[in-house]
Amino acid sequence: MTIPEGVTVTVDLTGKQVAGENAEKKIINYGNLTLIDSGTGGTLNIPIENNGTLNANGGTVTGEVTNKGTITTTGEKATQFSGGVTNESNGKIENGTFSGEVTNNGAINDGTFSGKVTNNGTIGNGNFTGAVTNEKTGVISGGKFDESKLTNNGGTDSYYHLDYKGKMTPTNHRPKTEPREENAEPSKEPVIVADYQNYSIEITCTVPKKPGDSDCGYRYIARYVLKEKATGKSYALCSGSYWYYYI
């Protein structure tokens, strides 16, 4: 079945198990396709190639899905995708529930994912309870993850803020001590400058024993650390020497 561009179709599974007569049967959507299930336990075991908009508003899709358009939800219910989903480079997943394996070459902007996800594209948001592998071309900028199941194979993972040092402005955070004597003691406690659900970014400012104090200010060392809340482990991000100027 092919749905042309500009055409709107609603498929109601009505609690039935719907399957193709043979392996060559599939749904090709260039228009606006909405899946619902007015009954209970309806499944669709037909491959879907989505080039338009797929509104996943109910039932379970067990067939393979190739997305080159947009998958989203517009109703109170969400379709469960238990088969494999390939999100192509021009594809967008805006919402939905995915328990099968997902290969993302495009953009995931939201949704719930309990199956394995391989990311070659971008992940901006979503709830990921299964294993996630961020490949070399992958970019993760947001979302909720099980950190024990998150593997980064060389991609950009600003969820962990591995590139955070490029965004830091250490001179905005003054040391806790403001010494004017040469043998000043360093600040004792780190200061949290960014607080997230699973981790925090802390800065510790220390003043050298001979800070090179002058009438206008003094030099200090700032060290940034990422700290995991669940484990208490700390990872060094960057450090540098800066000046604090008296105002």
pLDDT in tens, 148-199: 788 888 766 554 433 333 333 333 333 333 333 333 444 556 767 666 667 7
Q: Does the pLDDT at position 145 exceed 70?
A: yes
| DSSP H or E segment with residue 85 | strand 85-87
Distance CA 143, CA 108 (A): 10
Which residues are registered as beta bridge partners of 236? Answer: 225
Take residue 5 and report the two structure tokens written for it: 């561009």
Cα 91–Cα 2–Cα 24 angle in degrees, nearest 5? 90
Which pTM does this prediction carry? 0.65
Take residue 2 and report the two structure tokens written for it: 């092919």
pLDDT value for 204: 73
Task: Count the neighbouring beta carbons within 10 Å of the beta carbon of residue 45.
Answer: 15
pLDDT value for 186: 47
Take residue 122 and report the two structure tokens written for it: 């971008």
N residues, the chain = 247
pLDDT value for 210: 53
pLDDT in tens, 69-118: 999 999 889 999 999 999 999 999 999 999 999 999 999 999 999 999 99
